[in-house]
Structure 1
Amino acid sequence: METPDPFDIWLPLARAHKSILATVEAALKQAGLPGLDWYDMLWELERAGNEGLRPYELQQKLLLPQYGVSRLADRLAKAGYLIRQECSGDGRGQILLLTAAGAETRAQMWTVYSEAMQQAVTPHFSPGEARRLAELLAKFLRPSPADKI
């Protein structure tokens, strides 16, 4: 059996990802809402609840460099969507917490985001195809035999 060319998989996957993200970003912009980078940070802060997150924790969750988290947090704080608290026991550390306005904006964004995802993805697959594609893509999240070397 011939080994598939990884680019025969990667290129359509990357192009599909780019197309879907463009659809979602356009829908958010049309609704007068911030972009997906804002949504991702708001969502992580909402999930953290009253514990909040330290910037380095957000960096790990969002896969952004430190300066990217810092700049995005600054913009969200300026918009009133997050607050900073001092971290007890660490004079220089801080914890980022979601505000009520941030939670409300995230909920508004989700309405637009989820509808755009439905429009961008659902028409292309039958329910069985969608399940199968999800199963296939989940293989990327499992350790490969090469990871064990």
Structure 2
Amino acid sequence: MDKKPNSETTLIWVLLNIAHKTVTQRFETELRRAGLPPAAWYDVLWGLERNPQGMRQNQLERGSLFDQANLSRTLKRMVDDGLVTQCPAPEDRRGRILTITDAGRDLRLRMWEVYGGLMLSEIEDKVPAHARQGLIQGLQALVPGFKGLEP
């Protein structure tokens, strides 16, 4: 490779990774302190709640922050704990349709009390209002095809 990243690109890469690590660790610490499951569970519950008709695991994975192996293990625990149901897919019977249960909705709401507060303190309170739109645009450029937060 002849061309090397310039110092600005390198700084973006380093800061992006450090910010992710710092904020994620803080979220995990506070969820644990509140006696709640890890953020991966929130991600799954939120995805399923936004899609009340249910989703296949691969659909959930595409919108998730976690890889397939971790998602499979997480889903097994969540099904065992009564937070998520899985039923055979009507069109092929081999696939599974995942849906959130009432207990899963309740847990997501309890987790949101911590999660939402941390979004405020760790992101909204720290990123100046005038910089937010540029940050959003920059991150969207790194995630082509991101559809936003709609189901």
Q: TM-score, normalised by structure 1?
A: 0.82
Equivalents in 2 of 1:54, 1:120: separation in Å?
Answer: 32
| Aligned residues with identical type, % of pairs | 32
Look up the equivalent residue of 1:130 and give its one-letter code.
Answer: R
Q: Which residue of 2 is the match for residue 83 of structure 1?
A: 85
Q: Which residue of 2 is the match for residue 108 of structure 1?
A: 110
Q: Higher mean Cα deviation, 118-127 or 108-117?
A: 118-127
Equivalents in 1 of 2:69, 2:141: separation in Å?
Answer: 32
Tell me if structure 1 keeps the 8 A contact 2:43–2:64: yes
Gaps of 5+ in 1: 144-149
Equivalents in 2 of 1:98, 1:75: separation in Å?
Answer: 13
Q: Which residue of 1 is the match for residue 29 of structure 2?
A: 26
What root-mean-square deviation, in Å, do the aligned CA atoms of Structure 1 and Structure 2 show? 2.2
Q: 1:71 aligns with which of 61, 73, 78?
A: 73
Q: Which residue of 1 is the match for residue 45 of structure 2?
A: 42
Q: Indicate the structure with greater helix content.
A: 1
Tell me if structure 1 keeps the 8 A contact 2:40–2:66: no
Are residues 139 and 67 of structure 1, via their aligned partners in 2, closer, same or farther at CA, if it must alter by over 3 Å? closer
Tell me if structure 2 keeps the 8 A contact 1:20–1:117: no
Q: Which residue of 2 is the match for residue 60 of structure 1?
A: 62
Equivalents in 1 of 2:118, 2:67: separation in Å?
Answer: 28
Look up the equivalent residue of 1:111 and give its one-letter code.
Answer: E
Match of 2:95, SS? strand
Equivalents in 2 of 1:133, 1:89: separation in Å?
Answer: 42
